[in-house]
A and B are shown apart, each in its own frame.
Chain A
Amino acid sequence: MRGELLATRGRVIAIAAVLAFAIVSPLFVDEFSVLVLNQCLIWGILALSLDLMLGYTGMASLGHAAYFGTGAYATAIMSATYGASFGEAFVVAIIAAAVVTAICALVALRASDVYFLMITFALAMLIWGLAYRWDSMTGGENGIAGIDRPLFMEDTITYYYFTLIVAAGVFLFFSVLVHSCFGKTMVGIRESESRMRALGYNVWLHKFIIYMISGLFSGLAGFLWVYYNSYVAPTDVELVTSFNALLMVSLGGPGTLAGPLLGSTIFVILDNSVNMFTERSLTVVGCIYIVVVLFAPEGIMGFIKQLRTKAQEANNG
């Protein structure tokens, strides 16, 4: 009991510290660093949404770039082609992400395990194909440029704080969700689908709802990304983007909320800085994939947990 209380207190302190850092640090660093931090937040939202499926429910999606990309493209098309406002673009982006996610979920949920991976992958290719080829709508290979933020958040720092508020909201919502009854059901499905079915839970409906939540928040990340970048291109929807999201979750620690944020932060910072040290950035990222899979299957959070358990055992012994 005392240990649990201490752990909760530790968690609150950690969250407060990270939040304080996220609020204060932009005031002391150059603009480039603020941009990088902003990227960390946006990819963090994507990684969090993916983790809801991958880590908590045990549904490994190989195509999350599709929902991210749908949100991104809907935003870009509304804003650049139809001159929609920030709010209007937001509404359309979320609706588009919801529709695409719902269709994909209906198809993908017919399979499980490695076939689920395969189908989500294939569906993401479909969305990529549209982005890449539907020139008149998506600008094809060149993408869509010139998406401007509203005047009041035009500068880098204001938009950073806007993203921070959104990200904090997402984090709060997710932590309420995973600690609720619904969240416990998710973990139950991950551990044993047949057991949950026997207990009378509608497993399919739970999976569908989780898929929808995950897709919607991925779309939100896409929406934020377009206004961050003022540009969208097929590379935002491609296979590598889906994989990077998976890597962020695996690196940080699937099945935790801090993990995806940690993973995305490390990945984004590395991705932005490795070029300064070496031309072989592809090899570096490739090796991260290999090392994480082989040596840290539970990610950094899993590693910390292991250390903590060992320390406790030492105390008790």
Chain B
Amino acid sequence: MTFWLTQIFNGVSYGAIVFLLAMGLSLIFGVMKVINVTHGTYFLVGAYFGLTTLKQTGNFFLAILIGGIAIAIMGIVIERVFLRRLQGNDLGQVLITMGFVLVLQDAILVIWGPDPVSMDAPKFLASTGRIGGFSFPMYRLFLIVFAAVTAAALWFFESRTKIGSSVRAAVDDVEMAGGMGVNVPVVFSLVFGLGSFLAGMSGVLAAPWLGIQAGLDFEILPFAFVAIIVGGMGSLKGAVVASLLVGIIDNLGKTFFPEFAYFTLFLPMAVILAIRPSGLFGRAM
């Protein structure tokens, strides 16, 4: 019993990180149809920004905020200057985001160096919680709570605010939304900014658990992609459900079939794609 609890708990906490990353990717894809390969690297660069902030100020929550904001600004600039003029050119957009991956990876080497670094969680979260025979790191519980609160906030933003409804309109049909008076360029910037913010923030949040090192960006990116493919692009509900599934399946897969760890993760995705290309909660194409 304790074994299963631990497995599921770890899976859910990993799912929490995947959710924060995937939700940004999903928003960006849902509205702009951009496959943003840079997203994983946003995650990593965000973590480094957070690390530097933490070293300077000692405030973990400020680090999360700065990591997010720095990446949001970067994302908006990249969207405004580069991606916008490539609208409709799917392949061009993918290739250019790959270009930014390489440039950013090199920038990381120059600024922060090639060695893996670790980041400490705040003291009050560094303890171990215990319920009966089941013990767990407090920090992972914090991750789950944080992701849940973020999901609730995003849900409120999407369904209860005016800007949120513009975003939903743009997900459904950009042209019609524009015709109905939605300021599409502003929505694009907003969505890209928000998506990038989530990526940067999740990088900082993951750092005390996963560490920070070159290569982490491409390690985590597939998980986010699987989550939005399975859940359906642009769907908040889909991202929540699929991220949890991804976290849990990955954890069980690594435990029971270590040789097929990625296979157990990617195969269900391929099957879902084959049956329902728009994902579990996405609109049918």
Binding site for B on A (CB under 8 A): 54, 60, 62, 106-107, 110-111, 113-115, 117-119, 121-123, 125-126, 128-130, 132-137, 238-239, 243, 246-247, 250, 280, 282-283, 285-290, 292-294, 297
A122 near B273 with CB under 8 A, answer yes
Q: Is B241 interfacial (CB 8 A cutoff)? A: no
A287 near B35 with CB under 8 A, answer no
Closest residue of A by beta carbon distance from B96: A293
Given contacts A114-B35, A114-B90, A294-B82, contact A286 B269 (CB under 8 A): no
Q: Is B6 interfacial (CB 8 A cutoff)? A: no
Q: Which of chain B's residues have a CB closer than 8 A to the CB of A289?
A: 95-96, 98-99, 102
B99 near A288 with CB under 8 A, answer yes
A294 near B96 with CB under 8 A, answer yes
Supply 19 further A-B pairs (C-beta < 8 A) apart from A282-B103, A293-B96: A114-B90, A115-B285, A117-B90, A117-B91, A121-B35, A122-B225, A126-B263, A137-B259, A238-B218, A247-B95, A280-B106, A280-B110, A283-B106, A286-B99, A286-B103, A290-B82, A290-B103, A293-B86, A293-B89
Q: Is B7 interfacial (CB 8 A cutoff)? A: no
Q: A290's contact among B94, B99, B273, by CB below 8 Å, is which? A: B99
A122 near B259 with CB under 8 A, answer no
A129 near B259 with CB under 8 A, answer no
CB A19 to nearest CB in B, in angstroms, measures: 30
Q: Which of chain B's residues have a CB closer than 8 A to the CB of A123?
A: 270
**7 pairs across A/B with beta carbons < 8 Å?**
A115-B278, A123-B270, A129-B266, A243-B37, A280-B106, A286-B98, A293-B92
A125 near B262 with CB under 8 A, answer yes
Q: Which of chain A's residues have a CB closer than 8 A to the CB of B85?
A: 294
Give the contacts of B102-147 with A (CB-CB under 8 A). Answer: 102-103, 105-107, 109-110
B277 near A136 with CB under 8 A, answer no
Number of A-B contacts (CB under 8 A): 133
B229 near A118 with CB under 8 A, answer yes
Given contacts A122-B270, A282-B103, contact A129 B263 (CB under 8 A): yes
B259 near A134 with CB under 8 A, answer yes
A286 near B262 with CB under 8 A, answer no
Q: A293's contact among B95, B101, B270, by CB below 8 Å, is which? A: B95
A121 near B101 with CB under 8 A, answer no
Complex CA–CA separation, A87 to B130 (angstroms):
61
Q: Is B186 interfacial (CB 8 A cutoff)? A: no
Complex CA–CA separation, A121 to B98 (angstroms):
13
SS of B interface (majority): helix
Q: Which of chain B's residues have a CB closer than 8 A to the CB of A137?
A: 259
CB B42 to nearest CB in A, in angstroms, measures: 15
A132 near B99 with CB under 8 A, answer no
Q: Is B180 interfacial (CB 8 A cutoff)? A: no
Q: Which of chain B's residues have a CB closer than 8 A to the CB of A134?
A: 259-260, 263
CB B199 to nearest CB in A, in angstroms, measures: 17
Give the contacts of B242-285 with A (CB-CB under 8 A). Answer: 258-263, 265-267, 269-270, 273-274, 277-278, 285
Complex CA–CA separation, A132 to B103 (angstroms):
25
Q: A122's contact among B33, B107, B260, B269, by CB below 8 Å, is which? A: B269
Q: Which of chain B's residues have a CB closer than 8 A to the CB of A110?
A: 273-274, 277
Q: Which of chain B's residues have a CB closer than 8 A to the CB of A60?
A: 90-91
Q: B102's contact among A106, A118, A122, A285, by CB below 8 Å, is which? A: A285
A126 near B99 with CB under 8 A, answer no
Closest residue of A by beta carbon distance from B92: A293
Complex CA–CA separation, A297 to B96 (angstroms):
11
Q: Is B211 interfacial (CB 8 A cutoff)? A: no
B270 near A114 with CB under 8 A, answer no
Complex CA–CA separation, A206 to B8 (angstroms):
46
Q: B103's contact among A136, A243, A287, by CB below 8 Å, is which? A: A287
Q: Is B155 interfacial (CB 8 A cutoff)? A: no
Q: Is B61 interfacial (CB 8 A cutoff)? A: no
Q: B262's contact among A114, A128, A292, by CB below 8 Å, is which? A: A128
Complex CA–CA separation, A149 to B96 (angstroms):
38
Closest residue of B by beta carbon distance from A136: B259
Complex CA–CA separation, A287 to B270 (angstroms):
33
Closest residue of A by beta carbon distance from B226: A122
Complex CA–CA separation, A101 to B259 (angstroms):
22
Q: Is B164 interfacial (CB 8 A cutoff)? A: no
CB A124 to nearest CB in B, in angstroms, measures: 10
A286 near B92 with CB under 8 A, answer no
B266 near A125 with CB under 8 A, answer yes
Complex CA–CA separation, A243 to B273 (angstroms):
22
Q: B100's contact among A107, A119, A286, by CB below 8 Å, is which? A: A286
Complex CA–CA separation, A49 to B269 (angstroms):
27
Q: Which of chain A's residues have a CB closer than 8 A to the CB of B110?
A: 280
**The 6 residue pairs across chains A and B that have the minimum distance between CB atoms:** A129-B262, A289-B99, A286-B102, A282-B106, A286-B103, A126-B266
Closest residue of B by beta carbon distance from A289: B99
B35 near A133 with CB under 8 A, answer no
Given contacts A128-B262, A283-B103, contact A111 B277 (CB under 8 A): yes
Given contacts A132-B262, A290-B82, contact A125 B225 (CB under 8 A): yes
A246 near B285 with CB under 8 A, answer no
B95 near A133 with CB under 8 A, answer no
Q: Which of chain B's residues have a CB closer than 8 A to the CB of A107?
A: 270, 273-274
